[in-house]
Amino acid sequence: MTVTDELRDQMLGQKDTYKSHGSLSRLWKAGWALILVLFLLGITIWYFFLIPRVPEWTVSATGILNFSERGGVVYGESPISEGGTGGRVTKVNYDSRGATVYGILRIPKNPDKKVPGIVLLPGAGVTKETEQKVAIELERMGYATLTIDQRGIGESKEEIGDINYNYDSFRMGNEPPLHKSIYDALRGYDLLRARGEIDSDNIIFMGESMGGRTAIIAAGIEGRSKGAVGMSTGGYGLGEIIPKNNQTLFQRSIDPDAYIGLLAPRKILMIHSSKDNVVQLENAKRTFSFANEPKRFVEVSCETHGYCPEMREGLASGLEWIFGLNP
């Protein structure tokens, strides 16, 4: 054998060695890939099937809406320049159930101590800006307010839909927008609790008309709240109905009549005009009848639906009663 032949045989031998190493490397890679796939499959099964899952929202057999733990709220804030009361006014926004909620926060001027807070909910079609006439009255009384645009109103771009649209969502196992609107109010409560200027033990929900319905429901769910105020509002009359199907279950879940009895021993104040031609006085009194003591009903006779100057005295004394300022 010549030197050239010997060198060629050595090179061919090395080539076979390289081939062997390459095959072994591919086997190792395939093995590790299989292990990785099995590991990821095991994690997936463990996460989705073996860990007990807590739904984000549920409706009980009696039609009461519940939400899982909400945690802290993250929000943005920017000042608003305006004259008038001299208090601090800022625009806020926070995330809630896949939407951005926009609100106006009013803090009374130079409070000497932490002040009570109110989540203020406008009626259907009323923006947070229009509701500021009520917010200013409350600021003058010494209360901080967070007024939000409810879904489908003002800056909110979320579709709220009618009752049939919401029921169809519920029937299909999806969270109805009306339930999300209640959650928006609860997150507003969380925002007020996070503010250093607010007495976290003295926060209520308050609303007009449709906003009053949401306020009563939110207060029924949030047991740490001090209570609720409903102006020119009433329920749907399902307070004593036992749900027998999905439709009555859903209807009861958005009816303040089903929640108002849950507030006690916290306080409920309702204010209504005998001349209200949108929500009849009898409707409001029926809802009030489902409430337990302590409760207070104020009747006025202004020619309007919603807040009117004749309500101011009853509202002022009622808020002092709720917050324990005037037992």
The sign of the dihedral angle between the CA atoms of 162, 165, 166, 171 is positive
Is the pLDDT at 96 greater than 60, yes or no?
yes
Q: What is the per-residue pLDDT for 12?
A: 42
**Amino acid 14: pLDDT:** 47
pLDDT value, residue 158: 85
Local confidence band at 245 (pLDDT 50, 70, 90 cut-offs):
very high
Residue with tokens 């733990």, as numbered in its chain: 69
pLDDT for 238 = 84
User: Cβ atoms within 10 A of the Cβ of 38, count?
Assistant: 10
Render pLDDT for 159-208 as a digit per residue (tens, 0 to 9).
899 999 999 999 999 999 999 999 999 999 999 999 999 999 999 999 99
Q: What is the pLDDT of residues 122-162, one digit of tens each?
A: 999 999 999 999 999 999 999 999 999 999 999 988 889 99
- Summarised one tens digit per residue, pLDDT across range 98-125 is 899 999 999 998 777 899 999 999 999 9
The mean predicted confidence, pLDDT, of the chain is 88
pLDDT digits (tens, 9 = 90+) for 281-316: 999 999 999 999 999 999 999 999 999 999 999 999
What is each CA distance from 45 to 39, 41, 48, 56, 252, in whole angstroms?
10, 6, 5, 20, 36
Assess contact for 177 and 169: CB atoms under 8 A: yes
pLDDT of residue 117: 98
Phi, psi of 74 (to 5 degrees): -105, 130
Task: Classify domain 57-322 at the CATH superfamily level.
Answer: Alpha/Beta hydrolase fold, catalytic domain (3.40.50.1820)
Tokens of 153: 């109103």
Show the tokens assigned to 26.
């591919």
| Amino acid 22: pLDDT | 56
pLDDT of residue 25: 66
The distance from CA 243 to its chain's CA centroid, rounded to whole angstroms, is: 24
DSSP state string for 205-272: EEEETHHHHHHHHHHHH-TTS-EEEEES----S-TTPPP-SHHHHHHHHT-GGGTGGGSTTSEEEEEE
The pLDDT tens digits of the residues spanning 9-45 come to 443 444 444 445 556 667 777 777 778 777 777 665 5
Phi/psi class of residue 166: alpha, beta or left (left: φ > 0; alpha: ψ in -120 to 50)?
A: alpha
Q: Which amino acid is at 267?
A: K
Q: What angle do CA 302, 305, 307 make, to 5 degrees?
A: 75
pLDDT value of residue 90: 96
pLDDT of residue 42: 64
pLDDT at 35: 80
Residues 172 and 176: their CA atoms lie apart, in Å, by 10
